[in-house]
């Protein structure tokens, strides 16, 4: 599971099938109704109390289990990479690649293909538990085993085809620029990341889901009005059949320079009230208007440089100590890849709270933007409750800081009710 998340250049966007039925009706609990004695705290508690205790316990159990999976993914991935090094299997895969091709670039590509397939197979027990068995146990997956394996196969193939090109290019940089490869490698990694962000929505995501134009003018027209009001030059709204995978709701606004596209998934359309749909779209438009993707790319660029600096030091030190035992010839040898994966995975684990805080901050900014744009606080609360089916609603402050990459349900509902309290005179 860890390897797939590291190597895949797929950021699956969430999407839809055409719908003609009017979405659900908004229900506001009595304690959250607008009146002269309205209190944001009381209204927040009223919404939170609508969640039955058994469903709250189920969601908490699912989300808290994810904390341990972060650790197990890390340990399992490190164990697989360590096994490839200690048994010299990595060196033997390199030797096979060299027998099959004479050019370094192709040798690296062939080595990477072996590495991905073998690592996937070794990690499969954890992968099928985490991605299929556990999701079904908590009622969060709609996929048959055959459908799940089909998507896994696509992910694996994309990782080999695209990941192989990237890794081969990075090793070419290492071989040609042995003294400064960490700097040029970081620059190349940043470029590849930017390309992936542009390419994935257009060419990768449709391999997993069907995208169609949203036909329901009752939903489409207000969304486009919101977009025009906020300077988003999208001319159409798309839906994607995310229900083939799960019942999770989501949407996004993506693209730039004429490729802007607004996408909703069919779960959002079928499970949420119009007020909740518009609140979610206001949030997604906030990400676009506030240039969150570009800000994140700047931060990732800084992080990439730090990762490659640490990677160089760690790899040089490790090869000096164990390189001969592992039969690795040097940093330009593709057989060193498992060692690089161990270093990168370790950095990723330590970086988790920082990344979560950065993303969570942007999500909260988009929440506030969405409230001001859609003016649908109760719709926003409804969406937060639905997201709470698989996200813990009321974590402790330290827990939220370390493990949450989105504000908790309680935080989001309180922000919505506070906005409602400050705007009662307009409603």
- Whether residue 250 lies inside any domain: the answer is no
pTM of the model: 0.88
- Whether residue 277 lies inside any domain: the answer is no
- Whether residue 236 lies inside any domain: the answer is no
Question: Taking every pair of C-alpha atoms in the chain, what is the biggest distance, in angstroms?
Answer: 80
Range of the domain at 370: 2-18+39-210+288-420
- Whether residue 232 lies inside any domain: the answer is no
- Whether residue 193 lies inside any domain: the answer is yes
SS (HEC) of the chain: CHHHHHHCCCCCCCCECCCCCCCCCCCCCHHHCCCCCCCHHHHHHHHHCCCCHHHHHHHHHHHHHHHHHHHHHHHHHHHHHHHHHHCCHHHHHHHHHHHHCCCHHHHHHHHHHHHHHHHHHHHHHHHHHHHHHHHHHCCCCCCCHHHHHHHHHHHHHHHHHHHHHHHHHHHHHHHHCCCCHHHHHHHHHHHHHHHHHHHHHHHHHHHCCCEEECCCHHHHHHHHHHHHHCCCCCCCEEEEEHHHCCCCCCEEEECCCCCCEEEEEHHHHHHCCHHHHHHHHHHHHHHHHCCHHHHHHHHHHHHHHHHHHHHHHHHHHHHHHHHHHHCCCCCCCHHHHHHHHHHHHHHHHHHHHHHHHHHHHHHHHHHHHHHHHHCCHHHHHHHHHHHCCCCCCCCCHHHHHHHCCCCCHHHHHHHHHHHHHHCHHHC
How far is it, in rounded angstroms, from Cα 242 to Cα 334?
38
How far is it, in rounded angstroms, from Cα 159 to Cα 163?
5
State the total domains in the chain.
1
- Whether residue 218 lies inside any domain: the answer is no
How far is it, in rounded angstroms, from Cα 81 to Cα 339?
7
- Whether residue 217 lies inside any domain: the answer is no
Per-residue pLDDT of the chain (427 residues; tens, 9 = 90+): 444 443 333 333 333 333 345 557 899 999 999 998 999 999 999 999 999 999 999 999 999 999 999 999 999 999 999 999 999 999 999 999 999 999 999 999 999 999 999 999 999 999 999 999 999 999 999 999 999 999 999 999 999 999 999 999 999 999 999 999 999 999 999 999 888 888 888 889 899 999 999 999 999 999 999 999 999 888 889 999 999 999 999 998 876 656 678 999 999 999 999 999 999 999 999 999 999 988 999 999 999 999 999 999 999 999 999 999 999 999 999 999 999 999 999 999 999 999 999 999 999 999 999 999 999 999 999 999 999 999 999 999 999 999 999 999 999 999 999 999 999 876 5
């Amino acid at each position: 599971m860890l390897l797939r998340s590291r190597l895949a250049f797929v950021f699956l966007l969430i999407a839809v099938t055409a719908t003609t039925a009017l979405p659900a009706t908004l229900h506001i609990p009595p304690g959250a109704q607008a009146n002269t004695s309205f209190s944001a705290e009381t209204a927040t508690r009223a919404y939170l109390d609508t969640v039955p205790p058994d469903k709250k316990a189920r969601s908490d159990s699912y989300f808290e289990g994810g904390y341990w999976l972060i650790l197990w993914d890390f340990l399992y991935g490190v164990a697989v990479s360590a096994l490839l090094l200690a048994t010299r299997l990595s060196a033997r895969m390199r030797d096979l690649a060299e027998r099959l091709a004479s050019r370094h670039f192709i040798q690296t590509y062939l080595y990477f293909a072996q590495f991905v397939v073998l690592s996937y197979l070794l990690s499969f027990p954890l992968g099928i538990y985490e991605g299929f068995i556990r999701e079904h146990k908590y009622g969060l997956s709609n996929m048959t085993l055959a459908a799940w394996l089909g998507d896994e196969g696509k992910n694996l193939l994309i990782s080999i085809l695209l990941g192989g090109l990237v890794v081969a290019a990075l090793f070419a940089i290492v071989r040609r620029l042995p003294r400064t490869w960490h700097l040029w490698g970081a620059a190349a990694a940043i470029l590849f990341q930017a390309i992936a962000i542009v390419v994935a929505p257009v060419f990768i995501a449709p391999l997993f889901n069907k995208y169609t134009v949203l036909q329901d003018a009752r939903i489409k027209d207000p969304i486009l009005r919101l977009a025009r009001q906020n300077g988003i030059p999208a001319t159409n709204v798309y839906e994607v059949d995310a229900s083939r995978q799960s019942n999770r709701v989501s949407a996004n606004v993506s693209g730039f320079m004429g490729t802007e596209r607004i996408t909703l998934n069919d779960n959002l359309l079928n499970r949420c009230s119009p007020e909740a749909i518009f609140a979610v779209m206001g949030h997604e438009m906030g990400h676009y208007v506030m240039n969150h993707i570009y800000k994140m790319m700047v931060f990732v660029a800084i992080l990439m440089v730090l990762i490659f600096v640490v990677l160089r030091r760690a790899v040089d030190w490790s090869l000096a100590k164990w390189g001969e035992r592992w039969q690795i010839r040097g940093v330009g040898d593709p057989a060193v890849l498992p060692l690089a994966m161990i270093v990168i995975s370790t950095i990723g684990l330590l970086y988790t709270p920082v990344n979560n805080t950065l993303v969570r901050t942007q999500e909260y900014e988009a929440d506030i933007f969405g409230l001001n744009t859609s003016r649908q606080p109760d719709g926003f609360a409804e969406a937060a409750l639905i997201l709470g089916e698989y996200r813990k609603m009321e974590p402790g402050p330290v827990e939220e800081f370390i493990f949450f990459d989105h504000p908790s349900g309680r935080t989001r509902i309180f922000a919505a009710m506070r906005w409602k309290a400050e705007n009662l005179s307009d409603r």
